Amino acid sequence: MTDVPGSPASGPSAQEAPVCYRHPGREAHIRCQRCDRPICPDCMNSASVGFQCPTCVKEGTRSTRSGRTVYGGKRSGNAALTSQVLVGINVVVWLLILATSGTATQIGKALTTGFSRSRLVDLLALTPLGAVFRDPDGTLVRVPGVADGAYWQLVTSMFSQVALWHIGFNMLVLWMLGPQLELAVGRLRYLGVYLMSGLTGSACVMWLAAEHSSTLGASGAIFGLMGALLVLAIKVHGDVRAVGSWIAANFVVTFLLGSSISWQGHLGGFIGGAVLGAVLVYAPRERRGLWQLAGFCAVGAVILVAVVLRVAQLR
């Protein structure tokens, strides 16, 4: 295109207009949704969200042929499988908890309110510092805590629910969000985000919840999925408002219900998921897998240090 003197394209402003990275002489007001470089109309390739440049299209084609996602993970043949397995584990643990809740009255109470003097709950729920409770028959029961050496609670609490509404809501959200993240990053990376988000939630419970409180539920890990999906939506210039509204609504419910929901676990899980999501999608393309592994290890190290320091303080 040739500028005509006196036309709007002439003058100093024309020199400031972005130009296509492949055709330096052409103005480009559209950016590739993957690499964010300016591209002209001839270089625009329609994508599911926005446009991609020819370079990114070629890279995407290579990734597809190699069975890899855009972010380096192995492409899942069934993106819902991991979520189905996680749901299955949670349901099995829930049934075991109900089976050990004692009498029919206690089981009914566990189903509706989520509170039960089940010995299994005492072992699986996350308790920062052990406590002593009195059973309905007057028997004193000692509940171990992480500071007493029950370190497994940091993990087992992520797979334990009691109330029917609690497991129902958590598993529904997991069923909705999990396959989307697995499809984008691959099975191993998705599972890493889920488990480590749950652990960051557990670490926050250790520091921010009452010493003798008992916390359980998959919500921390699920809030981690929300955080990772929010970062992914930002990266691909997707519908951030829709994801953000969903997250905001869940946090509103978390704080409105007060003591019946662990805001500490939700907040910690969300932060962990957002950080891990950023590690996955913003890792440099060169040696991406190594960068991602280093990022996950760094988050794991922070979790470990936080738990060790808190245990030392409680003891």
Q: Is residue 70 situated within a structural domain?
A: no
Q: Is residue 3 situated within a structural domain?
A: no
Instruction: Average the pLDDT over each of 225-234, 237-246, 254-263, 276-285 and give the range with the smallest value.
Output: 254-263
**Do 124 and 223 share a structural domain?**
yes
pLDDT reading at 13 higher than 50: no
Domain termination site, one of 6, 40, 65: 65
**Do 155 and 33 share a structural domain?**
no
Distance separating alpha carbons of residues 265 and 176, to the nearest angstrom? 20
Q: What is the mean pLDDT of the chain?
A: 85
Return the pLDDT at 104. 55
pLDDT reading at 12 higher than 70: no
pLDDT reading at 168 higher than 80: yes
**Do 302 and 157 share a structural domain?**
yes
Q: Is residue 198 situated within a structural domain?
A: yes
- Nearest CA to 90 out of 237, 253, 221 is that of 221
Band of residue 102 on the pLDDT scale cut at 50, 70, 90: low
Count CB neighbours of 256 within 10 A. 9
**Do 107 and 49 share a structural domain?**
no
Across the range 211-234, mean pLDDT stands at 93
**Do 154 and 31 share a structural domain?**
no
Most confidently modeled of 19-33, 67-81, 279-293?
A: 279-293
Band of residue 111 on the pLDDT scale cut at 50, 70, 90: low
**Do 260 and 162 share a structural domain?**
yes
**Do 152 and 46 share a structural domain?**
no
Q: Give me the domain span that covers residue 21.
A: 16-65
Tokens (6 digits) for 62: 């290579």
SS (H, E, C) the chain: CCCCCCCCCCCHHHHHCCECCCCCCCECCEECCCCCCEECHHHCEECCCCEECHHHHHHHHHHHHCCECCCCCECCCCCCHHHHHHHHHHHHHHHHHHHCCCCHHHHHHHHHHCCCCCHHHHHHCECCCCEEEECCCCCEEEECCHHHCCCCHHHHHHHCCCCHHHHHHHHHHHHHHHHHHHHHHCHHHHHHHHHHHHHHHHHHHHHHCCCCCCECCCHHHHHHHHHHHHHHHHHCCCCHHHHHHHHHHHHHHHHHCHHHCCHHHHHHHHHHHHHHHHHHHCCCCCCHHHHHHHHHHHHHHHHHHHHHHHHHHHC
pLDDT reading at 294 higher than 90: yes
Q: What is the pLDDT of residues 138-158, one digit of tens each?
A: 677 788 899 999 999 999 999
**Do 190 and 56 share a structural domain?**
no
Instruction: Average the pLDDT over each of 58-72, 201-215, 231-245, 252-266 and give the range with the smallest value.
Output: 58-72
Q: What is the pLDDT of residues 240-258, one digit of tens each?
A: 888 888 888 888 887 777 6
**Do 211 and 149 share a structural domain?**
yes
**Do 154 and 99 share a structural domain?**
yes
Domain termination site, one of 65, 92, 125: 65
CATH of the domain at 295: 1.20.1540.10
Band of residue 67 on the pLDDT scale cut at 50, 70, 90: confident
Tokens (6 digits) for 201: 């939630």
